[in-house]
Amino acid sequence: MRQLLYTVSLITLLLPQTIKAQEAGEPLKLSLDESINFAMKHQAKMKNAILDQKSSLARNKEVTGLALPNLKAKGGVNYAPLIAGFLVPNFLKDGVRGYVDQPYWNQAAMANTSDDYLNFALQPKFTTTATAELTQILFDPSVMVALQARRALEHFSQLSVNLTEQELKAVITKAYYDVLIAEKRAELLDKNVERISGLEREIREIYNVGLTEKIDVDRITVTLNNLKTQQTTVKQLLDVAYMSLKFQMGMDVDQQIALTDELDDNQLGAELLTHPFDYENRIEYQMLKTSDKLLSYDLKRYKLGGLPTLAAFGNYGYILYNNTDLFAKGDKWQDQAMIGVQLSVPLFDGFQRRNKAKQARYAYEKNRNDMENLRNGLEIEKENARITLRAGISNLENQKQNMKLAEEVYNISKTKYKEGVGSSLEVMDAETALKEAQTNYFNALYEAHTARISLLKALGEL
């Protein structure tokens, strides 16, 4: 019934597309497995899950890059339009005063020169550099822990994809069954219209020879008109069910499809009622276990944060000092190089690392609580699914028997009416009871198959 209400709500949105779908060409035949496989390749949620997985793998490679050498090149030009000098005792005296006017002296700085002091300005106007620098981490606890956590992160991202696949399987299966049920309803309603049409003709013939009343004809005509109205509605709902399935699959709604699987009451899998249950089969539990491992790495990272870090570095480059013009010929390029190691020892960080470690421990303990709570929840979900399926199978058997009995009652009532020992009202009541029994049977069939899917999901077998 819930699925029926859902499909009715989609009529306004999707029904105008049915005309286009009928003109789309030869229908594409699909089994349930083929529908699921199509959705795995084309459904937007599945595509996004795969993109999230690729993004996670890219982040893992980024972590790997922390342990690899880091090489970069840099260069630059500095220009100093104003240069400040400083006074020093004039140890040169008059021996070099004649060279003050040479272009490589800073004229503004030398203007203040006296006999006793000399104003030095050692900064050239133009400084050009080109350097290559290499760094390599030798020991860093945070990098070490991050490298250890890579596999767990990759596993977690794969579990996320698996969970999306599982949810998509459940949605596609239910949508597929919804179409099959709608087809059965439409087929059965066509038979009902055909049966009541034949009965209506018979009653009219009986009325024409004066063996029944006009009210009997009117009753059967009203029933037939109601069935035809329901026939139109059910066909519209069937079109909407098809488009809902195509939407869930990520298929163009204009594409015509035809379902090849059959739905009957022998596919309910009663053996699932006694199937063993293992928490490890549930993806949700596997994800929490992986989160537990990741949180333990996070806690380890903060615990090791008090250890020193060691890195090696080296650079090589050229530098040019020019005091006249940037593009004028100046001093020759000078090469320079430096290598070394750097040790960093954390001494006091205002208790930040200790408090971050506490937060990581609390998150770890919280995840443990979530795992325990999930185990209880999964156990309840499994039991509820089994109870629902058991009740669904029992209800389906009852509705199947009711439908057979209602059909027998209808046939008997029709025979009695033709033989003149029954009333048309009795026939109409029997027809109404048969139609209700048929509706109840297909509702029970859909609910039973839905319960089967829920139990498969609860057992981690979907």
What values do phi and psi take at 129, rounded to 5? -130, 150
Instruction: Please check whether residues 127 and 272 belong to one and the same domain.
Output: no
- Specify the pTM: 0.77
Query: What's the rounded mean pLDDT across residues 93-117?
Result: 53
Q: Specify whether 160 is located in the same domain as 253.
A: yes
CB contact at 8 A, 353 and 306: yes
**CB atoms near residue 93 (< 10 Å):** 10
pLDDT band at 10 (very low <50, low <70, confident <90, very high): very low
Range of the domain at 326: 74-139+314-344
Contacts (Cβ under 8 Å, ≥6 apart) of 390: 273
Residue 330 banded pLDDT, cuts 50, 70, 90: low
Q: What angle do CA 9, 15, 16 make, to 5 degrees?
A: 140
Q: Which amino acid is at 375?
A: R
The residue length of the chain stands at 462
Residues of the chain above pLDDT 90, percent: 43
- 290 lies in the same domain as 320: no
Say whether pLDDT at 51 is over 60.
yes
Domain check: are 94 and 225 in the same one? Answer: no
- Segment 310-322 shows an average pLDDT of 91
The torsion angle over the Cα atoms of residues 311, 314, 315 and 316, rounded to 10 degrees, is: -170
pLDDT average, residue stretch 94-121: 56
301 & 323 share domain: no
pLDDT at 17: 44
What distance separates the 2 farthest-apart alpha carbons in the chain?
150
Tell me the C-alpha to C-alpha distance, in Å, between residue 132 and each of 77, 313, 314.
16, 11, 8
pLDDT band at 92 (very low <50, low <70, confident <90, very high): low
- Are 338 and 371 contained in the same domain? no
* Single-letter amino acid code for the residue at 30: L
Cβ partners under 8 Å of residue 121, min gap 6: 83, 84, 85, 86, 106, 108, 109, 110
Indicate the residue type of 117.
Answer: Y
Residue bearing the bigger pLDDT, 5 or 258: 258
Mean pLDDT of the region 328-336 = 74
Highest-scoring range by mean pLDDT, 140-149, 262-271, 423-432: 140-149
132 vs 119, residue with greater confidence: 132
What are 96's two structure tokens? 């070099």
- How would residue 113 be classed by pLDDT, with cut points 50, 70 and 90? low
Whether pLDDT at 36 is above 90: yes
Residue 93: pLDDT band with limits 50, 70, 90 = low
**Same domain, yes or no: 427 and 455:** yes
Question: Is 354 found in the same domain as 340?
Answer: no
Cα–Cα distance for residue pair 34/24, rounded to 1 Å: 20
**Number of domains, the chain:** 2
Same domain? 88 vs 176: no
Worst-scoring range by mean pLDDT, 102-116, 145-159, 168-182, 332-346? 102-116
Q: Which two tokens stand for residue 338?
A: 């430096």
The pLDDT of residue 14: 43
- Say what the pLDDT of residue 115 is: 61
What pLDDT is attached to residue 123?
A: 79
Per the CB < 8 A criterion, the answer to whether 168 and 40 are in contact is yes
Scan for tokens 């491992």, then name that residue: 293
Per-residue pLDDT reduced to its tens digit, 433-446: 888 898 899 889 88
Amino acid 329: pLDDT: 63
Same domain, 369 and 415: yes
CATH number, position 214: 1.20.1600.10
What is the CB-side half-sphere exposure of residue 440 using CA atoms within 13 A?
17
Q: Does residue 321 share a domain with residue 290?
A: no
**pLDDT value of residue 25:** 59
Asked which of 296, 326, 344 is the last residue of a domain, the reply is 344
**For residue 21, what pLDDT is reported?**
41
pLDDT score at 22: 43
Does residue 192 surpass a pLDDT of 90?
A: no
Q: What is the mean pLDDT of residues 198-220?
A: 82
Mean pLDDT of the chain: 84
- Residues 203 and 239 both lie in one domain: yes
Other C-beta atoms lying within 10 Å of the C-beta of residue 48? 11
Measured in whole angstroms, the distance separating CA 339 from the mean position of its chain's CA atoms is 49
